Amino acid sequence: MNTIILSAIFGVVMMFTGIFIHNRSVYKTVSAVALLVLLVFNIAESHGSAIFNIDTANFLHFDPFGLLFNSICIFSTLIYVMLSGRDLEKAGNNTAEVHALIFFVLCGIGIVTSYTNLLMLFIGIEILSIPLYILTGSDKKNLKGNEAALKYFLMGSFSTGILLMGIAMLYGSGGTFMVERVAKEGMLSYLSALGMVLIFIALSFKVSAAPFHFWTPDVYDGAPAVITSFMATVVKVAGFAAFIRLIEGRLGSMGSQSDRLIGIVIILTLAFGNLTAVFQQSVKRMLAYSSIAQAGFMLFALFAVNDAAKEGLLLYAAAYSLATIGIFSVLAKMDDMTLEGFNGFSKSQPLIAALLAIFLLSLAGIPLTGGFFAKYYMLASVVKTGKYLGLVIVGVLFAAVSAYYYFKVIQAMYFKEGNIVLAPVTNRFKYLLVFVAFLIVLLGVFPNSLLSFLYF
Amino acid sequence: MIPVLLIVIPLVTGLISFLIKEERSAKAFALLSSVATLAVSLISLFQNGTQNSFDASWLPMLGSRFSVSLDGMGKILTLLTAVSFPIIFASTYNNKYKSPNAFYGFMLLTQAGLMGVFCAMDLFLFYFFWELALIPAYFLCSKWGGEKRIPVTFKFFVYTFLGSLLMLVGILYVYYKTPDHSFAINSLRNLALTASEENFIFWLFFIAFAIKMPVFPFHTWQPDTYEQAPTAVTMVLSGIMVKMGVFAVIRWLLPMFPAASVRMADIVMILAVIGMIYASLIAIRQDDMKRLVAYSSIAHIGLMAATMFTGSSAGMQGVIFQMFAHGVNIIGLWIVIDVIEQQLGTRKFSQLGGLAQKAPVLAIMFVIMCFANIALPLTNSFVGEFLMFNSVFRHSVIIGAVACISIILAAVYTLWMVQKVFYGEVRNEENISLNVPVNTQIMLGILVAMVIIFGVYPQPMINLTSDTVTKIIAQTK
């Protein structure tokens, strides 16, 4: 509860800051401090001391999983704001509003990680999506950004419609919005099955799983790089938290049919994401496709739905978000976002190049980085179920494909000659980036350092 | 504590080495570190029991422990690693690298990974080190290699990475089949698998190991990579890293899937023998010394791969012995090739000839190394290859007979190389001047001594192998 209420309040605070303070560089600091407070209170709640005890009539249930997920999202956002705060100022005219919108998104995340009622899911998804439509188009003078925003809005509202339709059908067949009671009904009628599939489609759209991913590359490419960084990481993994809560409750009871459905979506997502990422020349666009591919891996958690899957999803959320935020924060400072733009990076910026290499290795899932354990848990969760070993093998084949395009960036940075154009970076930025890399390596050697929070 | 030291010394010194900017001190530091590791490894030979194993909690949630231990085979392979690195560093001491600190840093990290692979008694830890050895090798080849290094190294990387991922799936599968959900080698010896499961998982593991060795048809990355990599790295790759594959089969594959190993023995042996003949025939047609030695290495590894599946204890001992012998021999060959390349600027037979007149000492040492490569009596390879051919013959006369053709072919290409490069008419006379540096001569001398000592008196090392082999043979029966 702390997260939901405080983030809404902080959002309003940020808006007023925009009215009363006209010094742009202050917003970043205020926002970072507010995020820190938010993080502290969220952790406090996961240790049992909530400051707001509001009766939610069981519409929301705050369990360790959801709260830890919130912590990861808030922490990633904090890192994001600290790393990319200066680039956010360039993204639009009203920087304070951008920060306010980010807080509203976090409010939505707080709801979707802990809902027990389908209505709350709907509200959470809406609170999370609407600020994103605005953020995508925050650079008003950029034609591509406007196109992306409009496209995202149209597609997004369409998928929300489908979500609502699905919820209505489930209500019609079961007479309840509560996820767990809907689940106990079992697979009774065509109506409830259809409703479930519609919700599945809508959420697949939100996490950009194939074949509902077509908006992703355009939107990620069109939006300012800083905004893409936020959308592709924090928001996307929150979508998975919402997804796994639903599947855990409901779709799991559908047995082999839902297995097949999710299995097909996983293979399609991995194939689309990886195979198209291979051919990209622009690193930004490549990361957009790779985020689809990474979503494919996170979908394994939905397939397996067991302890290993939930732990894995948490690790994945942390490792993937941190690495991607790190890469985007550097990318936002570059003029030339193509692969050639990275040529000779290690010569002029050896430290940043080494850190980028760590982030890319983590995304590729190489041991000693958090990305490895994230993938490991995902694969383990499916192997643990004892069915569809073929799916795991398809997964690792595509993991090898993904190494191809991540390593192309490393090759460009280290083994090719060229001059890079990079906006000046402060020492603080470098130290922060080192800290992020350290966290990724820490997760890669002791994944328990994060997961042990789950069992306190 | 000894295995931990073997891993930690190169790991820590490797990381420190990145910070040493000055070329001469970076070299000296790396050499010093590798000598320290060698000293520890030599001590391990005379220790038994608790000194040679270490066990600590690492990932309690996963059921994986940091468990390292040295048995006979582990001692031999870590000794090979520990001996090779000082020799490699010393013999290539005069080579110039750009950003030497990173070069030596990555080399030492590779050593740490290799040591970990040879010591690990926990399958997950083993996988960890298996990958740790690969990543620095990738950077070494891509940054300091030859002209076509980037695509070639990438092929190498993708091949091995794909292999290890398949192995990872296998690891996960067997993990959930162990009675106590653990990665420890002792639990993995008691897997309850159905026959079809066992066959399937066997291939997941075997492909990963086969790519590393490499066994036909997974070998295509190897000659290109050996050719393009800087010679010091080629020595590591061919001398030690390919042994990872052979080692892993003996350490993990055979004990975990004893029944499947018997069932699949014929298929694997046929593949291995095809690879031996095929690689030997291609080696005859090469014009580049590095490529020739690369193909000859495929042929030799093929024999080891075939022997491992015969289920004979003498053969298995031969394999372990030969892993050491092959490492010594091939590093010797690379050192000579490196001297020739550094001084004359070419490795092509068509541009070389008559070097024996200019450098008689080098010629003698090279000839001895080549004899060892053909496994002539009194050289170390003779012992190993004799044991191996013997057991392959016992298993199947036809496979054995075909495999033996490779002995003849090995003599053809190896002696042909000696003749072309060191004898025959002198080419490009005007600029020929071959000064073999003293450090290289000493290192070659040490290797030659090892070839002859182990060729004449192999018994101590064979004795070392017996405990590992007895355990595995007992398992398969």
If one counts every other C-beta atom within 10 angstroms of the C-beta of residue A147, the result is 15
The reply to whether residue A447 touches residue B154, judged by beta carbons under 8 angstroms, is no
Instruction: State pLDDT tens for residues A407-426.
Output: 888 888 888 887 777 778 88
- Residue B186: partners with Cβ closer than 8 Å, 6 or more residues away: none
For an interface test with B, the pick among A300, A382, A396, A402 (most B C-beta atoms closer than 10 Å) comes out as: A396
Q: Which residues partner with A60 through β-bridges?
A: A115
For an interface test with B, the pick among A368, A377, A402, A407 (most B C-beta atoms closer than 10 Å) comes out as: A407
Q: How far is B218 from chain A (nearest CA, A)?
A: 16
Task: Assess B18–A contact: CB distance below 8 Å, yes or no.
Answer: no
What is the C-alpha to C-alpha distance for residues B6 and B79, in angstroms, rounded to an integer? 10
What is the C-alpha to C-alpha distance for residues B311 and A25, in angstroms, rounded to an integer? 73
Burial of B281 (0-12, 13-18, 19+ CB in 10 A): middle
What is the C-alpha to C-alpha distance for residues B18 and B13, in angstroms, rounded to an integer? 9
Query: What count of CB pairs under 8 Å joins A to B?
Result: 69
CB of A251 within 8 A of CB of A86? no
Facing residue for B135 by CB, picked from A366, A379, A384: A366
Secondary structure element (H or E) that encloses residue B287, with its range? none
Residue A186 has what pLDDT?
56
The reply to whether residue B142 touches residue A415, judged by beta carbons under 8 angstroms, is yes
CB neighbour burial string for A251-279, b if at least 16 within 10 angstroms, e if fewer: bbebeeebbebbbebbbbbbbbbbebbee
Residue A325 has what pLDDT?
92
What is the C-alpha to C-alpha distance for residues B382 and A9, in angstroms, rounded to an integer? 80
CB of A292 within 8 A of CB of A207? no
Facing residue for A380 by CB, picked from B60, B135, B172: B172
The reply to whether residue B175 touches residue A380, judged by beta carbons under 8 angstroms, is yes
Lowest mean pLDDT among A194-198, A229-233, B348-352: B348-352
- Three-state SS at B419: helix
Closest chain B residue by Cα to residue A383: B173
- Residues from A contacting B (CB-CB < 8 Å) are 311, 361, 366-368, 376, 379-380, 383-384, 386, 389, 392-393, 396-397, 399-400, 403-404, 407, 411, 414-416, 446-448, 451
Structure tokens at A120: 């709350």
For an interface test with B, the pick among A310, A379, A443, A455 (most B C-beta atoms closer than 10 Å) comes out as: A379
- Three-state SS at B240: helix
Return phi, psi of residue A324, to 5°: -70, -40
Q: How far is B246 from chain A (nearest CA, A)?
A: 22
Ranges in chain B, pLDDT < 50:
none
Return phi, psi of residue A306, to 5°: -140, -170
B150 chain-A contacts, CB cut-off 8 A: 411, 415-416
CB of B71 within 8 A of CB of B468? yes
The reply to whether residue A446 touches residue B142, judged by beta carbons under 8 angstroms, is no
Residue B189 has what pLDDT?
80
Which whole-number Å values give the CA distances from B8 to B3, B5, B34, B85, B138, in the listed order? 9, 5, 12, 15, 21
CB of B116 within 8 A of CB of B68? yes
CB of B44 within 8 A of CB of B6? yes
Instruction: State pLDDT tens for residues A148-176.
Output: 999 999 999 999 999 999 999 888 887 88
Q: What is the arithmetic mean of pLDDT over A184-197?
A: 72
Secondary structure element (H or E) that encloses residue B65, with its range? strand B64-69
A415 chain-B contacts, CB cut-off 8 A: 142-143, 149-150
The ipTM is 0.84
* Of B302, B306, B300, B304, nearest in space to B266 by CA: B306
Q: Binning pLDDT at 50, 70 and 90, where does residue A360 land? A: very high
Q: What is the arithmetic mean of pLDDT over A112-122?
A: 89
Q: What is residue A232's DSSP assignment?
A: I
For chain A, give me the number of helices (H) and strands (E)? 20, 0
The reply to whether residue A393 touches residue B135, judged by beta carbons under 8 angstroms, is no
Angle value at C-alpha B131, between B320 and A445, nearest 5 degrees = 125
CB of B363 within 8 A of CB of B356? yes
A389 chain-B contacts, CB cut-off 8 A: 169, 173, 200
Residue B428 has what pLDDT?
60
Closest chain B residue by Cα to residue A392: B169
- Three-state SS at B68: strand
Q: Which residues partner with B95 through β-bridges?
A: none
The structure's pTM equals: 0.89
Closest chain A residue by Cα to residue B197: A389
Task: Assess B169–A contact: CB distance below 8 Å, yes or no.
Answer: yes
B198 chain-A contacts, CB cut-off 8 A: none
Using the predicted structure, report yes or no on whether residue A250 has a pLDDT greater than 70. Answer: no
Secondary structure element (H or E) that encloses residue B59, with its range? strand B53-59
- Average per-residue pLDDT for chain A: 86
Q: How far is B128 from chain A (nearest CA, A)?
A: 6
For A438-443, the CB contacts below 8 A with 24+ separation are A439/A322, A439/A370, A440/A319, A440/A322, A440/A323, A440/A358, A440/A359, A440/A362, A440/A369, A440/A370, A440/A371, A441/A358, A441/A368, A441/A369, A441/A370, A442/A370, A443/A315, A443/A318, A443/A319, A443/A369, A443/A370, A443/A373
Facing residue for B172 by CB, picked from A379, A415, A451: A379
Structure tokens at B15: 């990381």
